[in-house]
Each structure stands twice: as structure tokens, then as C-alpha cells.
Structure 1
Amino acid sequence: MNCDCGAAVASEDGPSHAYMSALPACWRSYGELMARLSAHGVSAPLHMDAYAAQHPGNALQDRRQRGSVAVHLIVLGAHFDFGLPLSHLFSVKRQFNLAAARWLARLARPGTAENMGGTARSWDSLPCRR
């Protein structure tokens, strides 16, 4: 059976995330991976963001899920596209979680490309970039 992320996983009953689209076996595997990394003292801040972005759930219908996917993608972009160090990502995530509703509302208006461009140009104004 294939999960929404494309992983081939066993069909099994079990818990899954409240609003991510992960199948129970995929959710269990992710939890096991995070537990193993943690047991070896490995911090994996981007793993959660990558996992969440690959399991968007019902993002077309659920505002909470759209906001979640947006924040996780922003964090990944901040690191990989803008070179923001891992030590600053929690601050970025916190700031965008607080502003997600305004940011998503702005993206929903006409002129999305301009709005996104304005958002991208505002990275230097973030407190973590000063």
C-alpha cells in the first residue's frame, strides 16, 4: 500500500496524525526513526518539516492543514533557499505560526506572485536575520 508521500508501507491498523494524511504504518515508521535519532543524540529539526510537508492531508479544505503545510515549507525554504542556519529555524517557525493567518489570507488575494515576492524580500527584516 502506498502512503500519500509515496512510501510503500504495510496495511495496518493503528494511530496516525490527527490531520496529516499519513497511513498508520508511515506514521509509526516516522516515530520509530525520530526515536532512534533522539536515542543517539541526533537533532533532526528538518525531518519533521519534510515529513509534514509530504503529508498535506486535506489541505484544500482544511485551513489548519494549509497553515501547517505552509509553515513547514517556509522553514524548509528558509534553510535551503535562503541559507538560514538550523539554529534560527525555530524562531522562523514561531514567527510564521503567529502570522500564518495573515500570510495565507494575503496569498489568497489577487496578485499572489507579487505578494510572495514581497514576502521573500522581507526575510532581511526578520529578527533572526539581524
Structure 2
Amino acid sequence: MNREWLFTLIPLVIGVSFLCAGVYGLRRASALRRTGITAVGRVVRHDTRRDDDGAKYHHPVVAWTTRDGSECTYSSTFGRGKVLNGYGVGNSVFVLYDENDPRRFEIRGWDSTSLYMVFTVVGTVLTTGTLTVLLVLLSTL
């Protein structure tokens, strides 16, 4: 086995990792949409975080009451560069949450599965491309 084989492992591992992360995120989002409970929440503040490049991302913090009467206040894991209309402090929003784990929630209209879709597509392309190259290399031996 030559060194070229080792270099094909790098995009394969990256591709499989991206593919797994994307599919995992899409499945979790789908399960939440299937079995989640809808509640009306209120945006109480925005957590502003900066990435390594200094870009600011706003994560709305939403408070709502679960079906059993528990008060929940959690920050969205999905941040945006600016606050969209309807998601400012004090606005009412619809929240879809997991009854068994209310920390797992999404804000309707704010959270998106686009990132998971990008990971899935990039992972599929890298994995398929690398496997194609490996098959060509194997057939030329």
C-alpha cells in the first residue's frame, strides 16, 4: 500500500464526519418537529457571542411555561448576525420543545436546519468523491 492511500483517508474521514453530523442534526430536528410540544414564549434578552473572527451572533433567550407548569428560560443554539423583526426583546414567539428535555427546543422562524443540510451535502460529496477515487485506484492495481 502506497502513501497515496493514506491521503485518501483524510477527505474520507472528514466527509464521513460531516455526513454523520448533518444527518444527526436533521434527525433530531425532525424528531422534535414530530413529537415536540408547542408553547408561546417571550424573548427576554439576547446573548451576544463573538466567533474567532470577531463576528457577533445574537442568540435569543426565550422564557416559556411547559405543559406541566415548569418555567423554562433557555438560549437558542442558533445565532444570527442581526436580530430579525419579531424576535426582539419582549416579543412573543412560538417554541417547539421536547417534553422530556425542555432544553431541547427550537424557536419557530428563527432556528433553521440549513446548517445541517449543508453538512449533509458536503459530507456526501466528500465521501462519494473519495470512495470513487478509491475504487478507481483499486481497479487500476
TM (norm. structure 2) is: 0.25
Larger radius of gyration: 2
Choose between structure 1 and 2: higher strand proportion: 2
Choose between structure 1 and 2: higher helix proportion: 1
TM (norm. structure 1) is: 0.27
